[in-house]
């Protein structure tokens, strides 16, 4: 489960494990401290709602935020962040804010599901944030240490501070976030109401999944807006949940404290609130990643690869979510068709981390540590890569890829095919 499941920057639809458990650890260590009192919010005079344009990259919702009047910083909106405040990635821009940190308070942050060690982070208080016309006062921030390769296209994460104080609507068709005071929201005609269960700041939804020819299985999933996959399912506790035949063993993400491994395959259907989508790409993390840092993720999590096909409203006060089919509702679910996992680095380049054996990438000789320079003739950077890799999910197409191996330029033209 996630405070954020950042997609590993690759041609694969993979994910980086969440920081949610890390932030939960922060809550346990400082709970009850008066300096962590809740944020205050100010809307324009007489307004019950504000609307804020957002940018979408790598299946993430990016909001422009100013911090103490400086910025904008781009932060990921994530239902998987269960407590208030904001997380910021350390670096020159954050240091320039000249924040006041709590003396003697240092928390350990570990990317949920990772295999490495947790990392120390600092806590600052009394920040002032502005998101569109919304002012947030008395905000606390957990500032992560710099981590090259992690969070290369965003500056931080925000979650419960918004979801527990507003009804949050994401119009994915128009790219607009609307925050409304609870009690003022009226769902649009045709929207489907889905009950939510709230537990320790996390929202859970009841769903049904069908894997193979077996009957559908009821599951309880974390609603995880920061996850890039459609759905992640935990094997083991429920014997009918198992990676389907033909699934691929691979690295499915990397986070602050290490990599996340598991399998990727297709399930016959995913049904929520009477809405059923078929032939859905699902990830099946290894058992060590089922309950990251002790957080209970039930049977798995529902990611933005599913949610962004709808115009979705989160009403935590009413313990419900509304789904209205969007322009992408009927699109087929696809996964990587190249077999190359690549990742932006701190210097702005994109390098190959792994090549899936037997894949089109392996067949044309792409190797680990190759630098990806161009895809289909377009320059690859740490940010453009996420849109360009969509061209690597078209079955039967031949795509030109230019690489550097050391100082040696290479050009390959793999023919893409479905791997899952």
**Are 193-325 and 340-412 the same fold in CATH?**
no
Please state, in angstroms and rounded to a whole number, the distance separating the CA atoms of residues 51 and 76. 16
Q: Are 321 and 196 in contact (CB under 8 A)?
A: yes
CA angle 418, 58, 170 (to 5 degrees): 115
| Sequence ranges of the domains in the chain | 20-180, 193-325, 340-412
Asked whether the CA dihedral 256, 257, 259, 263 is positive or negative, the reply is negative
Residues of the chain with pLDDT under 70: 1-37, 104, 106-119, 147-151, 254-258, 289-297
> Which two structure tokens, joined as six digits, stand for 388?
């360009």
Please provide the CATH number assigned to the domain covering 193-325: 2.40.70.10
pLDDT at 82: 84
Q: Are 330 and 252 in contact (CB under 8 A)?
A: no
SS3 for 74? strand
pLDDT at 47: 93
Instruction: Name the residue among 137, 160, 165 with its Cα closest to residue 27.
Output: 160
Asked whether the CA dihedral 89, 93, 95, 99 is positive or negative, the reply is negative
- Concatenate the DSSP letters of all residues of 3-35 into one string: S-BPPPSSSS---PPPSHHHHHHHHHHHTT-GG
Q: pTM for this structure? A: 0.87
The answer regarding whether domain 20-180 maps to CATH 2.40.70.10 reads yes
Residue count (the chain): 420
Please provide the CATH number assigned to the domain covering 340-412: 2.30.42.10
pLDDT at 297: 61
Burial 142-155, CB ≥16 within 10 A → b, else e: bbbeebebbbbbbb
Residue 104: CB partners within 8 Å, gap ≥ 6? Answer: none
pLDDT at 298: 84
């Amino acid at each position: 489960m996630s405070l954020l499941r950042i997609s590993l920057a690759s041609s694969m639809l993979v994910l980086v494990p969440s920081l949610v458990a890390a932030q939960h650890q922060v809550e346990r260590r400082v709970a009850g401290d008066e300096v962590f009192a809740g944020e205050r919010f100010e809307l324009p005079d007489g307004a019950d709602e504000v609307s804020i344009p957002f940018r979408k990259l790598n299946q993430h919702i990016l909001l422009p935020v100013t911090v103490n009047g400086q910025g904008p910083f781009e932060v990921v909106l994530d239902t998987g962040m269960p407590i208030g405040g904001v997380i910021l990635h350390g670096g020159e821009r954050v240091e320039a804010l000249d924040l006041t940190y709590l003396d003697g308070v240092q928390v350990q942050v570990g990317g949920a599901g990772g295999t490495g060690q947790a990392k120390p982070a600092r806590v600052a208080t009394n920040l002032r944030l502005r998101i569109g016309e919304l002012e947030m006062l008395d905000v606390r921030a957990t500032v992560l240490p710099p981590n090259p390769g992690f969070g290369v296209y965003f500056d931080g994460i925000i979650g419960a501070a918004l979801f527990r104080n507003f009804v949050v609507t994401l119009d994915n068709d128009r790219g607009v976030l609307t925050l409304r005071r609870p009690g003022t929201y009226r769902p649009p005609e045709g929207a489907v109401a889905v009950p939510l269960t709230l537990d320790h700041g996390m929202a859970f939804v009841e769903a049904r999944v069908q894997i193979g020819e077996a009957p559908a299985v009821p599951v309880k999933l974390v609603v995880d807006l920061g996850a890039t996959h459609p759905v992640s399912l935990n094997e083991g506790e429920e014997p009918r949940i198992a990676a389907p035949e033909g699934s691929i063993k691979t690295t499915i993400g990397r986070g602050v404290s290490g990599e996340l491994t598991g399998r990727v395959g297709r399930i016959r259907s995913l049904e929520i609130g009477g809405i059923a989508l078929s032939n859905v790409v699902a990830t099946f993390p290894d058992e060590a990643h089922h309950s990251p840092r002790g957080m209970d993720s039930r049977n798995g999590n529902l990611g933005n690869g599913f949610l962004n096909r709808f115009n979705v409203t989160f009403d935590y006060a009413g313990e419900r979510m509304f789904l209205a089919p969007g322009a992408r509702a009927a699109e087929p679910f696809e996964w990587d068709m190249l077999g190359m996992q690549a990742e932006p680095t701190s210097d702005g380049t994109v390098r190959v981390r792994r090549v899936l054996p037997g894949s089109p990438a392996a067949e044309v000789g792409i190797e680990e540590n190759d630098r990806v320079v161009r895809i289909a003739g377009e320059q690859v950077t740490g940010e453009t890569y996420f849109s360009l890799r969509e061209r690597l999910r078209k079955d039967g197409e031949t795509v030109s890829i230019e690489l550097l191996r050391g100082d040696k330029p290479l050009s390959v033209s793999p023919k893409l095919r479905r791997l899952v």
